[in-house]
Amino acid sequence: MPSDVTPKIDPTPNSEKQDIVDRINKAVKNQNRPTVTVLSSLLSIEDELGYIPKEAISIVSEYNKSTINEVWGVASFYPNFRFDPPAKNTVEVCWGPSCHLVGATDVIKSVLDELELDGEGDTADKMATFKFNTCLGACPQAPVMSINHRMYGKVSAKQAKTYISALREDVKGAHK
């Protein structure tokens, strides 16, 4: 007999689960593109929620008339999909060629130091998710970083550090 047969309790309240399912359905049904595929459906969900919840796999499979295995195969093939909710804030630093040439390396180092991270991922306190970006689409403003999709151009390593500490202060202030 297994030593631990205690059922695992899912702490997510039902109303929150329903909200997630509603948002998945909305993301899948409102795709504004000529060809809808498993990949496009997963991308829409990732855009809407910032991750692929487990409920999404069966919804995408039903919507695209695919099997669960096919959907899971696509979802797990692309390393950019994440399967757990992201942190409260998203910080991205561009390391594309234009940004790289004018100091992205120092900006990245500064941001990672301030977030106490070694690379992409979530901070221990779930304050922020850090991601590299290959081009934030503002090359003339290089080096570029973004916080919650707000862009900061011609950013220095020192400024980047200031932005992150301001973000941390905002988050602390919001919890007081």
CB neighbour list of residue 35: distance below 8 Å, 6 or more residues apart: none
**CB neighbours (10 Å) of residue 148?**
11
| Span from 17-25, 41-49, 92-100, 161-169 in contact with ligand FES (CB under 6 A) | 92-100
H or E, element range at 150: strand 150-152
Per CB under 6 A, 102 contacts ligand FES = no
d(CA 149, CA 129): 12
Q: Identify which of residues 36 and 138 has a Cβ nearer to ligand FES in the complex.
A: 138
Q: How far is the CB of 132 from ligand FES (least distance, A)?
A: 11
H or E, element range at 145: strand 145-147
Among 138, 159, 162, 171, binds ligand FES (CB under 6 A): 138
Per CB under 6 A, 145 contacts ligand FES = no
Task: Give the CA distances from residue 13 to residues 10, 20, 53, 55, in Å, rounded to whole numbers and listed in that order.
Answer: 8, 11, 15, 14
Per CB under 6 A, 91 contacts ligand FES = no
Among 36, 39, 117, 139, binds ligand FES (CB under 6 A): 139
Per CB under 6 A, 97 contacts ligand FES = yes
Which string of x and - marks every residue 44-83 that binds ligand FES (by CB under 6 A)?
----------------------------------------
H or E, element range at 77: helix 68-77
Q: Identify which of residues 39 and 102 has a Cβ nearer to ligand FES in the complex.
A: 102
- Given the DSSP bridges, would you call strands 121-122 and 150-152 parallel, antiparallel or unpaired? unpaired
